[in-house]
């Protein structure tokens, strides 16, 4: 099972996560994974995580049989383990289905399903309690950026999302900086914009949860209109430890190219 290790500044590890969102029927899911496997050699130093919809997790797990290069993630969870919560999926269920990771606090969940930082914090804790690595998403909307509130918003989301966690727990999570205005718009953040926010998130993490030398630190991914064209530049930048990919991960050719960009970055380092 994939263990989160130190960020690329120390071991050059890059993480590429594909968020399928509400896409792919079973036959399509199997086809996508089979093609992706054909196109993607396992290269040390790059970890790949697939987040299919709940209905396809089992089929994807079967299609991944015999490969330990690809990890599985849920796209969300509910913080209770079991019980009368119709429609929800819990951390033990995701573990039982073969997931090692879970996306939490995606902006689409905040926007369309009213998720707030308090609930997101409960989800992060539930994931950690059940040995799932949370991928905590933070990011500002366009009006927030234009009002100069980016730092305030992402700092609040980060600190509230991780409230009450100890150093070891923070070493088991990933953060994804996903500016809301860049998601699904074809307008990715520039390297400078991503670096500025991700450097800040890195500083806050370091100042709030000190790590002993050699201990794992928290990878910070960038998400928002990552494509085969811009992946190399983004992944090469100092504070970007990987990518959370939406639209482009639905096309195996495009997603494989993004993974190859990460592999090239790691090989060149």
Does 247 interact with ligand PEP (rule: CB under 6 A)?
yes
184 binds ligand PEP (CB under 6 A): yes
Neighbours of 95 (CB within 10 A): 17
**What is the spatial distance between Cα 17 and Cα 21, in angstroms, rounded to a whole number?**
12
* Residue whose C-beta lies closest to ligand PEP: 246
- Which phi and psi angles does 262 have, rounded to 5°? -65, -40
**Residue 246 sits in the site that holds ligand PEP (CB under 6 A):** yes
4 Rama sector, left if φ>0, alpha if ψ -120 to 50, beta otherwise: beta
Residue 6 or 258: the one with the smaller Cβ distance to ligand PEP is 258
Q: Mapping DSSP to helix (H, G, I), strand (E, B) and coil, where does residue 90 land?
A: strand
Q: How far is the CB of 101 from ligand PEP (least distance, A)?
A: 14
Exactly one of 47, 90, 218, 225 binds ligand PEP (CB under 6 A); which one? 225
176 neighbors 17 (Cβ within 8 angstroms): yes
Distance (Å, whole) CA 51 – CA 40: 17
The yes-or-no answer on residue 106 being catalytic is yes
* From 108, 140, 178, 195, the catalytic residue: 178
Q: Is residue 135 involved in binding ligand PEP (CB under 6 A)?
A: no
Q: Which stretch binds ligand PEP (CB under 6 A): 30-38, 139-147, 211-219, 238-246?
A: 238-246
The region of 122-130, 165-173, 213-221, 241-249 touching ligand PEP under the rule CB under 6 A is: 241-249
Cα three-residue angle 106-112-160, rounded to 5 degrees:
45
Binding range to ligand PEP, per CB under 6 A, among 27-35, 60-68, 127-135, 224-232? 224-232
Residue 25: CB atoms within 10 Å = 12
- Give the interface with ligand PEP as residue ranges (CB under 6 A): 19, 178, 183-184, 223-226, 244-248
């Amino acid at each position: 099972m994939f263990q989160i290790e130190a960020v690329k500044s120390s071991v050059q590890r890059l993480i590429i996560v594909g968020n399928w969102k509400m896409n792919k029927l079973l036959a399509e899911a199997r086809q996508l994974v089979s093609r992706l496997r054909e196109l993607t050699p396992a290269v040390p130093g790059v970890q790949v995580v697939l987040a299919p919809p709940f209905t396809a997790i089992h089929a994807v797990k079967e299609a991944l049989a015999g490969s330990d290069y690809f990890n599985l993630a849920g796209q969300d969870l509910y913080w209770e383990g079991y019980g009368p919560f119709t429609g929800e999926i819990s951390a033990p269920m995701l573990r039982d289905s073969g997931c090692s990771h879970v996306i939490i606090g995606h902006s689409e969940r905040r926007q369309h399903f009213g998720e707030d930082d308090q609930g997101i914090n409960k989800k992060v804790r539930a994931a950690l309690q059940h040995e799932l690595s949370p991928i905590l998403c933070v990011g500002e909307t366009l009006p927030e950026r234009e009002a100069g509130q980016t730092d305030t918003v992402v700092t609040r989301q980060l600190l509230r999302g991780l409230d009450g966690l100890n150093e070891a727990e923070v070493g088991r999570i990933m953060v994804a900086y996903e500016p809301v205005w860049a998601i699904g718009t074809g307008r990715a953040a520039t390297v400078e914009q991503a670096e500025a926010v991700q450097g800040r998130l890195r500083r806050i993490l370091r100042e709030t949860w000190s790590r002993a030398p050699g201990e794992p630190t928290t990878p910070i991914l960038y998400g928002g209109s990552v494509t085969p064209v811009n992946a190399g530049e983004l992944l090469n930048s100092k504070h970007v430890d990987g990518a959370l990919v939406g639209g482009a991960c639905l096309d195996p050719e495009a997603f494989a190219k993004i993974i190859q960009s990460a592999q090239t970055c790691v090989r060149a380092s």
